[in-house]
Structure 1
């Protein structure tokens, strides 16, 4: 499946917003990386500017390296956002797929409105949607 770069970033942003903050999903990488992304979005531009200014001010002969370093620093949140976009479109492994269908069935029994899963089978984006809905609707013992 070929995805454009803009779609990759858009999916990554939606996936990071949709991923729940809960102990049920503590074992997933996303649980640690979403707060890191939020932190990077806030502080990385300032760090890159400070790096460029310091290179210009104190290491005038090396300002080109400072500029390149600042560009690399600025690309870090974009790299993480691209990873989230890639991860959002990956099909679920078999173990997670069974958990996805189990949660989906419990949500149907509680008459919750659900989105349809992706065409090729459930993806991590679908799992994030179902988890978000399950954590909001179902009682804790049914997660």
Structure 2
């Protein structure tokens, strides 16, 4: 009888040990999953940071190119204003552009309009032989049935 009680205690201890071990292994598994998910998040953030850095470098390069172009345009405008203030007529700032300014300079002041002369009278088509009228004074009557 003592050995039956010992055997039952051994079986109950084994069952309790199994569930306790399973519980602790779940906690270890959860910690491993958390560690893996944190590692995945860190990798994603590192990839996003590298992409962000590349895009930022590209934008900075574009800004420097635009600033350089703006500096060139300002210097060109400054030279144009200096030439315009020097009094040279050929170096004036063109409002319309080169082709339009030349056209406007060579264009006559006002267009001349020619008046029509009344020397030639228009043709008279009301005569009998013109074909516009039948030439008879009485209108033709139609037969109605």
TM-score relative to the length of structure 2: 0.23
Larger-Rg structure: 2
More helix by share: 1
Higher RCO (Cα < 8 Å, 6 or more apart): 1
